[in-house]
Amino acid sequence: MATPHHARRSDTRRRIQEVALRLFAEQGYEKTSLREIAERLDVTKAALYYHFRTKEDILVSVSEDLTAPVDELIAWAQGQPRTLATRQEMLRRYGDALWGAIDLFRFFQENQATVRDLAIGESFRRRLKSLSELLKEPDAPMTAQVRSLTALLAMHAGMHAMQNIEGDPEEKRAAILAVALDLVAQADADLVTG
């Protein structure tokens, strides 16, 4: 048959994840009801419960799938020397990860209050903490540490909060990366001179 059993299965599952993520990102987690997700997919609410245990579970599954690259990035960075070059490569790779899962990260950014007491929030914060610890030197001058974190922020916000800047998206992304790279470079310089 053209659509074997297991192909169909994962198809619905994946479609739920896609639609859910889109709606979560567009409207927020709380304002997106399972009814709405089901309606968009033309299935019943009960069907969602066949594939996922709870509403939160849908989000968790999406998040696990899409944040894997970030975990890989962290694992990679932990095996590298703590040099400026490593940090800059981290930012480059992080940029790729962010752009590969833009809806999810936008969701995290805009639903922090909601996400905070979901299980998922904890792992999000853990990841951010790992990243920032790899990016900054714990005993660097405070200004240097702030610069490193700001580099991270700039990349996060760059995805959606920089719409006030006109111009080609790719070019904008490059400019954001450039600024971020510059910030960690300055932080690195502070280590010597500061």
User: 81 or 138, CB closer to a copy of itself?
Assistant: 138
C-beta separation of 130 from 74 below 8 A: yes
**Contacted by 67, from DNA, a copy of itself, none: CB < 5 to 8 Å by type:** none
Contacts of 61 by beta carbon, 8 Å cutoff, 6+ apart:
17, 52
- The answer to whether 132 contacts a copy of itself (rule: CB under 8 A) is yes
**Contacted by 109, from a copy of itself, DNA, none: CB < 5 to 8 Å by type:** a copy of itself
Q: Which residues of the chain form contacts with DNA (CB under 7 A)? A: 5-6, 8-10, 12, 30, 32-36, 42-47, 49-51, 53-56
C-beta separation of 148 from 189 below 8 A: no
Residues contacting a copy of itself: total by CB under 8 A = 44
- The answer to whether 113 contacts a copy of itself (rule: CB under 8 A) is yes
- The answer to whether 159 contacts a copy of itself (rule: CB under 8 A) is no
> Minimal distance in Å, beta carbon 167 to a copy of itself?
6
C-beta separation of 184 from 84 below 8 A: yes
**Contacted by 126, from a copy of itself, DNA, none: CB < 5 to 8 Å by type:** none
Measured between alpha carbons, how far is residue 112 from residues 29, 50, 194 in Å?
A: 10, 28, 34
> Minimal distance in Å, beta carbon 116 to DNA?
16
Segments in 1-136 forming alpha helices (H): 5-27, 34-41, 45-51, 55-78, 84-100, 102-110, 112-116, 119-135
Phi, psi of 38 (to 5 degrees): -60, -45
Distance CA 32, CA 89 (A): 37
User: 2 or 139, CB closer to a copy of itself?
Assistant: 139
> Minimal distance in Å, beta carbon 42 to DNA?
7
